[in-house]
């Protein structure tokens, strides 16, 4: 069984994945890091040069590959759930945990990040988060086995919660 973390940007997936991997002594795989390695450049550059469809195609290939792994912590990009084929691949051997946060929490966590290209080209970052979440919330819900709220919680507490639900 794999532990798969899904959720919007800034919900804590990457940092919680690191804690779980260390505790369980399982390998950690970040789908976004795998895409960067595959493309040989940053995600913003992939999107700028090749577009979102090319990025999503790379993401799907990686989800298919890592979905066959076992005893791996898989930290997905926030949009991995946009394609049903990704969800099916990740659920193949995985227990899927959806990390959630409110818009103010997300904004506080991602406001200084430069590695997150705009998803909608909206000028107002808050409006972008709200718009994207409106589309993705039902997809996250359908893809997950468990929901893990992350607002006002430490990374250790979130990791404890996930481990307690296994």
pLDDT of 124: 74
Q: pTM of the entire structure?
A: 0.91
Distance of CA 28 to the CA centre of its chain: 13
Which tokens hold the place of 6?
């899904």
CB 148 within 8 A of CB 161: yes
**pLDDT confidence of residue 115:** 58
| Residues of the chain predicted below pLDDT 50 | none
Which CATH code is given to the segment(s) 2-160?
3.40.50.300
Q: What is the structure's pLDDT at 160? A: 97
At 32 the pLDDT is 94
* Model confidence pLDDT, tens digit, residues 17-30: 999 999 999 999 99
CA 147/CA 99 separation, integer angstroms = 6
CB 63 within 8 A of CB 5: no
CA 64 to CA 86: how far, in whole Å?
7
For the chain, helix, strand, coil in percent to 5 are 55, 15, 30
Give the pLDDT of residue 151. Answer: 96
Residue-level pLDDT at 125: 78
Q: How many CB atoms within 10 Å of residue 85? A: 11
Structure tokens at 122: 């909206």
Q: What is the rounded average pLDDT for all residues in the chain?
A: 92
Rounded-to-10 torsion of CA 160, 63, 119, 103:
-20
Give all strands of the β-sheet with 2-6 in edge-to-edge order: 28-30, 73-75, 2-6, 94-100, 146-149
């Amino acid at each position: 069984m794999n532990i798969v973390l899904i959720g919007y940007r800034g919900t804590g997936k990457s940092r919680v994945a690191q804690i779980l991997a260390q505790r369980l002594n399982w390998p950690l795989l970040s789908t976004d890091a795998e895409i960067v390695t595959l493309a040989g450049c940053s995600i913003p550059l992939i999107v700028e040069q090749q577009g979102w469809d090319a990025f999503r195609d790379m993401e799907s290939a990686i989800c298919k590959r890592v979905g066959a792994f076992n005893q791996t912590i898989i930290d997905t990009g926030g949009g991995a759930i946009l394609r049903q084929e990704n969800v099916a691949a990740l659920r193949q051997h995985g227990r899927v945990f959806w990390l959630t946060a409110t818009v103010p929490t997300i904004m506080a966590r991602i406001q200084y990040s430069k590695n997150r290209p705009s998803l909608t080209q909206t000028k107002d970052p808050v409006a972008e988060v709200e718009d994207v979440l409106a589309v993705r919330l039902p997809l996250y819900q359908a893809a997950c086995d468990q929901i893990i709220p992350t607002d006002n919680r430490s990374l250790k507490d979130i990791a404890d919660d996930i481990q307690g639900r296994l």
